[in-house]
Structure 1
Amino acid sequence: MNRTKGTVYAAAMLLVLVVLGLFGTVSARQWDLAVTIGKEIDFIARDGNLTGSMVITNTSSFVAMAYDDDTYTLFLSDAGNMEHSIVSVDLTAAKNITAKPLLKRDKDSQIQSMAFDGASRTLFWATEKSIAKMKLPLNGPPGQPIVVRAFVTESLRAIALDVCNRQLYWVNGNRSRQSIGRSQLDGSNAIIVANESLYETSSLAVDHWSGRLYWLDDEEGIHYKVEQSELDGSGRAILVHGNHHQPIHLGVDKERVYWTDYVSNAVWQIGKESRQGDAPRRFWSYLKTGEQADLTTLLARDNLGSGVDCRAMKAELARRKLQQQKSTESKSQRSRDELDRSEPSFSNLTTSSEQLRPKNECSGQGEFDKVIGTCRCKSGFSGSRCEISPCHNYCLAGECQVNSRGLPICSCGGSRSGSRCERDACDGYCLNNGQCLVENGKPSCECKYSSGARCEVTLEMAEICALFCMNRQFQMTGIDTASCRCSELNQTIQEVLGYDSFNCQIIVPLLSGFVGMLTIAVILLSFYVSRLKRRPRIKKRFVVNKTGITPLTSRPSPGTDSQQCEITIENCCNMNICETPCFEPKLRASSNGRNVTGGSNGTKKEEKSNLLDHMEVGPGHGC
């Protein structure tokens, strides 16, 4: 019986261990989107539910991320790690999740972006001036880093892999020559995919479902856009054109495009088949944290590793190419039909393509060049039809005009200032609740409870400045003394006091010495008074007969003569502190006019008689 119970218990424990082991593996699978926030990683399902979160304790701030779906390993670039620039995290670990060093830090560069190729088990990463790679075999140590491409004038922002066509994409963030490039995985056959109408491209991704390229562009001003194109850069189209976002990183899955936004502390999404005018939707928000979240990179899992279906991607590319060919042939047929229906020319000659080109193909800021077949734009204007003005999203307020050199000039007006009207002249100008007014483009302040050009001097501040200016060694912890006008204050003090120098280094020690002497005197007086309070009282006890006939030798007994009594007299006439008033008995005068101070018995009797004569009779007084 006991053996049976032991067998059942062992089986139950084995089942628990198996379940726990499976749970650890399943937890590494149950996520669709990974987002990095500082040194924290959130794992979110496609329906918007948080499936897990982890904090890597031995890290500081992640700026790039890649994922190996075969080993459930995350590769992270840690900006604050002074020893290693790339670390790895095993998502199957149930406890004690720590980062494992993978690549030592290069002192000359910071890793901007990463991507992992599961087929060759190669990790790619980009610094500002180069793209490098490293083999990560399943068994054994990682390989040596190899530079794939080096750049001179470019400033790399992000990279992406097309694992199906074995191609590498990158973003050049150089302001003067923004571009998106492409090459083979070994860096050969490099070409420029797009280089027009790019402002500040921050991230890109290859969609292995549709065979398209997506990227984020933070336009000048408050606008941004999400663009898409074919893998060769053709067929560009704007998916989202919005404002008040600062997009950071982008990812795509089978149906949607996601991006992180620094302004709203959120992750946004929009469908890949959205129509023009559709607004993006907030997918996940970090506003509830109450602080500015350090959102950086994100990954859409089904567009990586085992989630990629290269056959489906190539079939989609072939379908779109066939559809494009049919559309082109249809347009050509319609053009031929229109030519056939048109009236013949006067000379019965075929009209050339130059004569058929519409004259208004270029906008008003350019002219069509028949020789090269493109528009020649005026200075500053760009675009295939010269439709992009230099003023596009340039001025944040006011009006924009293009000068003779093709440069945008902003006329701000009102309270705005700056080359792009980006600053409010009154923003933070008046202090201490002063009211700001703008006259001729310059701000001025109307102060209520303070003074100064910016209302920077309050009553309390004036006192603090007086102390600071009189003694520069006086420490003002946590107080800004930059607004204290010490030269003017010292000059005023000199005029009031009538002498040339005002030296606090002499006055302060004198005052300190005087206060110290007063303190010592108070302590001494307190000690003397306490001694006087503890001085013993001097008392005398008399047992007398009021008639003075029979002196008593003992305390009267009850029932005896009522004229007998006992009195206690306190001698308080020698500067003693006592409770009863002082009584000085009259001294017996001698026959020659001098007082008798001797100690005779007659003198003592007379003193007793005098005391009894002047004694108050009543309760508590003896007789």
Structure 2
Amino acid sequence: MCSMQILLVISLVVQLTYSWDIAVSVGDRIDFHNADGTKTDTVYFESQNITALVYDEVHNMLLYVDKQSDRDNICGYNMTSVEYKCYLDRSGGNVRSLAFDPVSEKLFFTDTKERSINWFSFKPGFKNNDYGNLFIKFKGAIPTDIAVDSCRGYIYWINTNLTRSTIERARFRGSEREIVVTSTYQLDLHSLAIDQKSQKLFFFMPLSNSLVTFYSADLNGRNLKSLHTFTYQGETLLFNHPNTIAVSKNAVISMVAWCLPCLPRYVWTLSPSTTIPFTINTQKVVGIATNYKMSDQVQGISDCSHVTRNYNIDESLKVAKEYESSFCVHGIKVRGQSLCECYTGYTGVRCEESFCNNYCLEGACSFTEEGLPVCRCGVGFTGYRCEVNVCYDYCLNNGSCSLNEEDEPSCECLEGYEGGRCEETINKAGALTYN
């Protein structure tokens, strides 16, 4: 298991100023934009699939999901120290959504494969579990999108895999669980954001397979209001369901949708004064985060004044020593460098790629002393990669092949043929001919 892990990255930006309002993940990079859509910076990663994003203002860090073929890593890019580090290795998991609470310095996240909500503390000296700390484990429901209300101490999430999809909330300690919104249709709610200032929830509710409505509601689920309905036809662009939203400083809701006929995804914004979205990015966007400081969200709200007093900005991110190991999945860190020395049979920047990955098609893979992959084939298969079925083309003249008790191919011949491979033809006179 990994704790804090250091990534090797490539940045095409020499001097990063980070004057930004919106950050979006686009495959192997994160783009930074102003509210008007102007791109201000770009940072490239070795990862090819950055998904969910959330901004941690306490440490001036973008937290993100680095999705690999067999694991999801939860990582962070510190914009002050320009460091890239990973904190959790969710092997076999599927991390869907992130939410950060600056007061407790906790990152909450959902894992749809594990059907759980989990958390990770960034407080120095706190001993997290290697896989993250469990908040709630679900039996039937699957939690997807997640958001936090730091002012009032609630965590909100969307439940799917139910007859009616719901939005549920609970206190940070797991108490006072209650459903605040229930879908009126047998389609899953999706995407969730909270604005502390307006004290509103924002989410999408599909009305049919071709309609989806953008809603707001009070934090207790009351005063449900439709803000805009998107259709697959009739808009300037045809697009599928938006898949993530975030609230920005000027109360503009940013979301991601994708164009059906042209494939690229788009970032749109909806302001209180208009219900017409406009694009600010035409790349293949997956995740989105906004630079919306907690102090701006709670300004002028008397019952939230305690929030800004209970946390301090710490851009150094001084994490306990137990999290200072390198991010080498199958290897060890080279002393004094952000590089990995891989164990036999592994490669990649973080030793995350096994030479055995997809090598043996029908068998078990192991390594030779030289670190090369070698296969031990399963019953009925042969070849260097166990790619050959022993029955393939074994029985001639349309005979049927199966494995005998010794796991060797055996033929059942059609009428008029016999022989170990049905290679002998029986003529009417009883004489044999050979193919």
Band of TM-score, shorter chain: 0.5 to 0.7
**Structure 1 position 56 matched with structure 2 position 41:** no
Instruction: Give deviations 1:502-535, integer Å, cap 9, x for gaps.
Output: xxxx9xxxxxxxxxxxxxxxxxxxxxxxxxxxxx
What is the letter of the counterpart of residue 224 of structure 2? R
Instruction: Select which of 131, 135, 148 maps to 2:117.
Output: 131
Q: What is aligned with 1:268?
A: 268
**Structure 1 position 161 matched with structure 2 position 148:** yes
TM-score, normalised relative to structure 2 = 0.59
Q: What is aligned with 2:188?
A: 200
Contact 2:167 2:180 in 1 (8 A): yes
Query: Looking at CA atoms only, which structure, 1 or 2, has the larger radius of gyration?
Result: 1
Q: What is aligned with 1:452?
A: none
Provide the C-alpha distance between the structure 2 equivalents of 1:111 and 1:237, rounded to a whole number of angstroms: 30
Distance 1:185 1:80, change over 3 A: same
Comparing both structures, which one devotes a greater share of its residues to helix?
A: 1
Q: CA deviation at 1:79?
A: 1.7
Q: CA deviation at 1:83?
A: 5.6
Q: CA deviation at 1:143?
A: 2.5
Q: CA deviation at 1:37?
A: 1.3
Distance 1:69 1:142, change over 3 A: farther
Provide the C-alpha distance between the structure 2 equivalents of 1:203 and 1:309, rounded to a whole number of angstroms: 23
Give the SS at the match of 2:221: coil
Provide the C-alpha distance between the structure 2 equivalents of 1:313 and 1:51, rounded to a whole number of angstroms: 35
Instruction: Give deviations 1:315-349, integer Å, cap 9, x for gaps.
Output: 9xxxxxxxxxxxxxxxxxxxxxxxxxxxxxxxxxx
Instruction: Select which of 86, 90, 94 maps to 1:110.
Output: 94
Report the number of matched residues. Answer: 276
TM-score, normalised relative to structure 1 = 0.42
Instruction: Select which of 5, 10, 27 maps to 1:38.
Output: 27
Q: CA deviation at 1:313?
A: 7.7
Instruction: Give deviations 1:298-318, integer Å, cap 9, x for gaps.
Output: 11211x544432643859xxx
Provide the C-alpha distance between the structure 1 equivalents of 2:303 and 2:213, rounded to a whole number of angstroms: 27
Q: What is aligned with 2:203?
A: 215
Q: CA deviation at 1:86?
A: 0.9
What is the letter of the counterpart of residue 279 of structure 1? I
Q: 5+ residue gaps in structure 1? A: 1-22, 287-292, 316-505, 507-623
Provide the C-alpha distance between the structure 1 equivalents of 2:156 and 2:266, rounded to a whole number of angstroms: 26
**Structure 1 position 255 matched with structure 2 position 263:** no
Q: CA deviation at 1:80?
A: 1.3
Distance 1:271 1:279, change over 3 A: same
Q: CA deviation at 1:49?
A: 0.6
Q: CA deviation at 1:239?
A: 0.4
Q: What is aligned with 1:87?
A: 75
Contact 1:84 1:102 in 2 (8 A): no
Distance 1:87 1:158, change over 3 A: same
Distance 1:313 1:46, change over 3 A: farther
Q: What is aligned with 2:286?
A: 296
Q: What is aligned with 1:591?
A: none
Q: CA deviation at 1:75?
A: 1.3
Contact 1:211 1:314 in 2 (8 A): no
Contact 2:183 2:189 in 1 (8 A): no
Provide the C-alpha distance between the structure 1 equivalents of 2:268 and 2:28, rounded to a whole number of angstroms: 21
**Structure 1 position 246 matched with structure 2 position 238:** no
What is the letter of the counterpart of residue 245 of structure 2? L
Provide the C-alpha distance between the structure 2 equivalents of 1:60 and 1:141, rounded to a whole number of angstroms: 31
Contact 2:110 2:143 in 1 (8 A): yes
Distance 1:66 1:190, change over 3 A: same
Contact 1:158 1:170 in 2 (8 A): yes
Give the SS at the match of 2:243: strand
Instruction: Select which of 280, 285, 292 maps to 2:282.
Output: 285
Provide the C-alpha distance between the structure 2 equivalents of 1:127 and 1:188, rounded to a whole number of angstroms: 20
Q: What is aligned with 2:220?
A: 232
Q: CA deviation at 1:146?
A: 1.9
Provide the C-alpha distance between the structure 1 equivalents of 2:272 and 2:106, rounded to a whole number of angstroms: 29
Contact 2:183 2:205 in 1 (8 A): no
Q: What is aligned with 1:411?
A: none
Provide the C-alpha distance between the structure 2 equivalents of 1:258 and 1:313, rounded to a whole number of angstroms: 27
Q: CA deviation at 1:173?
A: 2.0
**Structure 1 position 143 matched with structure 2 position 140:** no
Instruction: Give deviations 1:410-459, integer Å, cap 9, x for gaps.
Output: xxxxxxxxxxxxxxxxxxxxxxxxxxxxxxxxxxxxxxxxxxxxxxxxxx
* Identical-residue share of aligned pairs (%): 23
What is the letter of the counterpart of residue 120 of structure 2? M
The within-5 A match list for 1:369-518 is none
Instruction: Select which of 104, 108, 127 maps to 1:120.
Output: 104
Q: CA deviation at 1:81?
A: 5.9
What is the letter of the counterpart of residue 254 of structure 2? Y
Provide the C-alpha distance between the structure 1 equivalents of 2:67 and 2:206, rounded to a whole number of angstroms: 23
Q: 5+ residue gaps in structure 2? A: 1-13, 233-239, 305-434
Instruction: Give deviations 1:15-71, integer Å, cap 9, x for gaps.
Output: xxxxxxxx96x713x1100111112111100121101111111x2212212221122
Q: CA deviation at 1:85?
A: 2.1
Distance 1:77 1:184, change over 3 A: same
What is the letter of the counterpart of residue 269 of structure 2? Q
Provide the C-alpha distance between the structure 2 equivalents of 1:142 and 1:53, rounded to a whole number of angstroms: 33
Provide the C-alpha distance between the structure 2 equivalents of 1:167 and 1:220, rounded to a whole number of angstroms: 30
Give the SS at the match of 2:301: helix
Distance 1:249 1:83, change over 3 A: closer
The within-5 A match list for 1:533-548 is none
Q: CA RMSD, aligned part only?
A: 2.5
Distance 1:82 1:92, change over 3 A: farther
What is the letter of the counterpart of residue 117 of structure 1? D
Instruction: Give deviations 1:546-584, integer Å, cap 9, x for gaps.
Output: xxxxxxxxxxxxxxxxxxxxxxxxxxxxxxxxxxxxxxx
Give the SS at the match of 1:31: coil
Distance 1:42 1:121, change over 3 A: same
**Structure 1 position 308 matched with structure 2 position 308:** no
